[in-house]
Structure 1
Amino acid sequence: MDLHIPISLQPFINQKTISENTTGMTGARIIESDDIIIKIEQYHHESKREIETLRFLQEKVPVPTLIDYLVENNTSYIVMSKLRGKMAFEKPYISNPDALIKHLAEAIKRLWTIDIKSCPIQNRIQDKLIYAKHLIDTNQIHREEIDYSWLKNDNIKSVEELYEWLLVNQPEEDLVFTHGDFCLPNVLFTENQLVGYIDLGRAGVADRYQDIALCARSLSYNLSVKLNDQIIMKFLQEFKIPIKWDKIMYYIILDELF
């Protein structure tokens, strides 16, 4: 394994068997032992946000324990405890969609119980659009990976046009604490009990549909069904709030820039 670990962090993995976990799409390298995770990635604002979030969420909801943190040569190293559980797209969970959607909905609603009055971490639409503009202006967007089909608008064919559409069509926000990237690999369960949330670099105060939308999209992908499939509708009904398709589509489209 071609791997550089700073000298000050090496005691965490010395004399331990380590491996690289390649699950997920964060772009980070995940090095793990039986009890430790080291997340390695180019330092950017999501690295800083993940540290802030891990600290803020301790004893509020189950998340990894932050053990150490270092930035070296513009590379972020986050050392945290390893949560023991299975990701939501793994068996037996994905094999029982009716049970899975209930577990996922409960995990999202549990985040809503966090008091946001004292939360210093904001990830509202305006925050996301400011960062998206930075990514566009500095040519950090993977333009070839953007799926414009979500828009159902053939007139929008560039990142700049997509950004302008998002700017003009911002929905009103109903604020809660959100994971920010609530897809099936980022929530862990064991024996139908929530073990915890991982990959928290996009967490913060945002509209409650931020997590609902991305979880619905992730379910659609992992179950190989359309977004309006019956199982997705049953998932949306678990929240017992009006189903707002305009918000669902807005947050899915917004996520294309990240």
Structure 2
Amino acid sequence: MRKTRLPGLPSDCPKELANEFASVPVYDSSCSDTARVYYLDTDGGFFLKRSPKNTLREEAEMTRIFGNAGLGPEVVAYLSADSDWLLTRRVPGEDGTHMTDHPELLCDILASAFRELHDKGLSRVGDVPLPDRTAETLAGAERGLASGVFHSYLRPERYQIHTPDDARAVLAAQVEAFRPSCLIHGDACLPNVLIRDGRFSGFIDCGAAGFGNRHSDLFWTVWSLAFNLKTDAYGDRFLDAYGRDAVDRDQFRTAAAAESVTADE
């Protein structure tokens, strides 16, 4: 975890938080230009995320759902003033990027965590409303195709998708079968999976979670493994460990096609 010691919390921090953590060591652990993240080093640790007003509401709700199900951090507070502030308790462990020296074990841990999430997540969170992330992804793909978006950094050519027209053809052929069926994380990558003593300990950054198609998480995890390990050698290891019985080649390719052309709103 990246940490830079700060003299204290920012001056515009809500008073109730500033008072509660007035004498606590504060560190900047931000890794994004769009949000600031402060680590509060007390009582096992807390993370305080600051973002523009009304941008953390959904993340707070989805993180609360994951936390209540034992899948992610506990949400301590969500406050919306001039900015949004989300306070969560630290999940013990280090993120998956700290295990790249043990790629086989890393693949096995990721596979077990995501299979458990996809197979049992809905029953664990109970009867709560969830956003339809598959509908959002497909809508984003439509916008991207209309504006010529093509994310070559995702290396869609690995799935015989070389152009936006290739992605359009895949989506046209498979979109009816690409349906949501499980709880997904929505931002599946090594930094968002925490591991402690060689075992999964929780998901973080759950703002994109919801009701979705498991192949979206699988696509992003395979991509993240290749990105962080600097090789494509472990994608199949991950999918084998996840269980090929639950992996549909056409739906995986559909996920790749959709993500390769998706545009934000």
TM-score (norm 1): 0.79
RMSD: 3.3
State the partner residue of 1:15.
Answer: 23
Tell me, in whole angstroms, the C-alpha distance in 1 between the residues paired with 2:35 and 2:257. Answer: 23
More moved, 106-115 vs 181-190: 106-115
State the partner residue of 2:255.
Answer: 251
Cα distance, 1:121 vs structure 2: 1.1
Question: Which of residues 227, 236, 241 is equivalent to 1:238?
Answer: 241
State the partner residue of 1:38.
Answer: 48
Q: What residue identity is the alignment partner of 2:230?
A: S
SS at match of 2:108: helix
Cα distance, 1:245 vs structure 2: 3.7
Question: Which of residues 36, 40, 58 is equivalent to 2:67?
Answer: 58
Q: Is the 8 A contact 1:123 1:202 kept in 2?
A: no
Tell me, in whole angstroms, the C-alpha distance in 2 between the residues paired with 1:31 and 1:136. Answer: 38
SS at match of 2:73: coil
Cα distance, 1:114 vs structure 2: 2.2
Does residue 201 (structure 1) correspond to residue 207 (structure 2)? The answer is yes
Cα distance, 1:26 vs structure 2: 7.9
Does residue 70 (structure 1) correspond to residue 95 (structure 2)? The answer is no
Q: Is the 8 A contact 2:195 2:202 kept in 1?
A: yes
Could you say if the C-alpha distance between residues 67 and 250 of structure 1 is closer, same or farther in structure 2, counting changes exceeding 3 Å? same
Question: Which of residues 221, 234, 237 is equivalent to 1:215?
Answer: 221
Q: What residue identity is the alignment partner of 1:11?
A: N
Could you say if the C-alpha distance between residues 149 and 236 of structure 1 is closer, same or farther in structure 2, counting changes exceeding 3 Å? closer
Cα distance, 1:253 vs structure 2: 4.7
SS at match of 2:69: coil
Could you say if the C-alpha distance between residues 11 and 136 of structure 1 is closer, same or farther in structure 2, counting changes exceeding 3 Å? farther
After superposition, what is the alpha-carbon deviation per residue over 1:191-239, rounded to whole angstroms, capped at 9, x for unaligned?
Answer: 012221100000011111121111111001111012xx3x211110112
Q: What residue identity is the alignment partner of 1:222?
A: N
SS at match of 1:213: helix
Cα distance, 1:156 vs structure 2: 2.9
After superposition, what is the alpha-carbon deviation per residue over 1:117-140, rounded to whole angstroms, capped at 9, x for unaligned?
Answer: 623112332133446778999x9x
Q: Count residues with an aligned counterpart.
A: 243
Cα distance, 1:53 vs structure 2: 1.6
After superposition, what is the alpha-carbon deviation per residue over 1:136-185, rounded to whole angstroms, capped at 9, x for unaligned?
Answer: 99x9xxx797647526555539xxx97x6786452422511111111000
Give aligned-pair identity as a percent: 20
Q: Which runs of 5+ in 1 are unaligned?
A: none
SS at match of 1:15: coil
Q: Is the 8 A contact 1:12 1:36 kept in 2?
A: no
Could you say if the C-alpha distance between residues 69 and 174 of structure 1 is closer, same or farther in structure 2, counting changes exceeding 3 Å? closer
Q: Is the 8 A contact 1:21 1:30 kept in 2?
A: yes
Tell me, in whole angstroms, the C-alpha distance in 1 between the residues paired with 2:188 and 2:205. Answer: 9
Q: Which runs of 5+ in 2 are unaligned?
A: 1-5
Tell me, in whole angstroms, the C-alpha distance in 2 between the residues paired with 1:26 and 1:238. Answer: 35
Could you say which structure has the higher helix fraction?
Answer: 2
TM-score (norm 2): 0.77
